[in-house]
Structure 1
Amino acid sequence: MSKQPTTVTTVAEGVARISWLPDVHVSGLGSAVDVVRREVEAALAAHVRVEALVDPADEAAQRVATWSGLRREGVMRGVTVEGEAVDRIVYARLRDDVPAHEPEGFRALLNSFLPRKRAISQMLVRDEDGRVLLCQLTYKQDWDLPGGVVEVGESPQLAVGRELEEELGLVLPAGDLLLTDWLPPWSGWDDALCLVFDGGVHPAAILDRVVAEPREIRSAAFCTLEEARERCADFTARRVESALRNLGGAPAYVESGSPVES
């Protein structure tokens, strides 16, 4: 007796898990999508969620999952399959998701699997002697410009102002964008974009108003470029120099702090 091409199993209350054999792909992507989509629709009649766990190495199965209307949710690590711990990509559709054939649903489907890049906003704050405000961080040895990660749905320009208020107790609106710095993957981090905004010139006494967030900030100080080179990671020091060079100019683009040759 041949196995069914698809299997739907209830794995929790209101949750079904669908899987399919490689044979489903034999007739082509369109045919496979039609089969899986029908099974997903049928399962949603009795469940609020239908999910699929797909091998990251199986590109064909990933395409079938996507075009069947299942949204990519992330990677589940260390799933036990046939006694072996493996990684699986989680795809799912909820009963109240907008269907993929409608514009909003299609956009949500694309949004679930298209690449996302982390954004970091920082502020270049100077004193009247041209020194740059730097922070000594609790979670790494290097000093850095004040700022932090942009939240989902948050404006980068507003994010850096929020970070300064949360971490230093300073209310400094961000001015013009000075620099876009692409950071390649490094030491466990994925790549990211760092946006440096102009924080203007302020009296050095502004440090008296600093209230450091103790979980993240050890101290803050205005530093010369030479001090920045001594205290910061090399790419951070390059970013500071590039931002200073670009004051009053159009926003520049650098990679790991260094200008890119055209």
Structure 2
Amino acid sequence: MTDERPLYERDPVAWRAHLAEGNAKQARKRVGADVLIRNALGDVLLVNPRYKPDWDLPGGMVEANEPPDHAAEREVREELGLHLRVGALLVIDWVAPHGPWDDSLMFVFNGGTIAEGSPTPQPLDGELLACQFTPLTQARSMLRPYLWDRLDQAVAAALTGAPRYLTNGRPRDSA
């Protein structure tokens, strides 16, 4: 008669080995976490990184075993001195392999609105050349098309309260 119990009950050591093998073989993705921060006029905060040719949303790459929302908070604190707790998830964007990069997942969280009269955040470390609040109409010309699409979808998600799943910045049915 065979033992019908699941492997994890029959042989915990074999089960751990099975999980370790799966963990070693399964895909590992780069993950980024950005934050949509606006001012009282509805302008969006953009940053100009030293290491890339175009403006971007504040945020950065998630470190190993770090939750994306914590990474977003850490990045805006390190780069801009903003101590904020991010709000709702607005966007998850699957970015296809491009150039030397494998695919990645990009998260955009709601960073809320900076109160009128508050000082504009300033770059704190060497990663950023500048940052500024920018009207949406102007942001389009400052961002790469896929980043503009991601930002546009994040703003729409913030207004509706419904997060968006994107592929290369576009809603899945239009990607």
Q: Does 1:242 align with 2:146?
A: no
CA distance in 1 between partners of 2:93 and 2:118 (Å)? 27
Q: Deviations over 1:24-66 (max 9, x none)?
A: xxxxxxxxxxxxxxxxxxxxxxxxxxxxxxxxxxxxxxxxxxx
- Three-state SS of the structure 1 residue aligned to 2:60 is strand
Per mean C-alpha deviation after superposition, the further-off stretch among 173-182 and 101-110 is 101-110
Q: Does 1:260 align with 2:134?
A: no
Unpaired runs of at least 5, structure 2: 1-11
Q: How many residues end up aligned between the 2 structures?
A: 162
| Contact kept in structure 2, 1:238 and 1:258, CA below 8 Å | yes
| Contact kept in structure 1, 2:123 and 2:130, CA below 8 Å | no
Please report the TM-score for the alignment, with normalisation by the length of structure 2: 0.86
Correspondence for 1:129: 41
Which structure has more strand as a fraction of its residues? 1
Offset of residue 103 of structure 1:
2.3
RMSD between aligned alpha carbons? 1.8
Change (3 A) 1:224 1:209: closer
| Contact kept in structure 2, 1:135 and 1:146, CA below 8 Å | yes
Q: Which amino acid aligns with 1:243?
A: A
Q: Does 1:224 align with 2:157?
A: no
Higher relative contact order (CA 8 A, sep 6+): 2
Q: Percent identity?
A: 38
Match of 2:93 among 152, 177, 181: 181
Q: Which amino acid aligns with 2:45?
A: L
Q: Deviations over 1:180-209 (max 9, x none)?
A: 111111121111111100000113654544
Q: Which runs of 4+ in 1 moved over 6 A?
A: none
Please report the TM-score for the alignment, with normalisation by the length of structure 1: 0.58
Q: Greater Rg, structure 1 or structure 2? A: 1
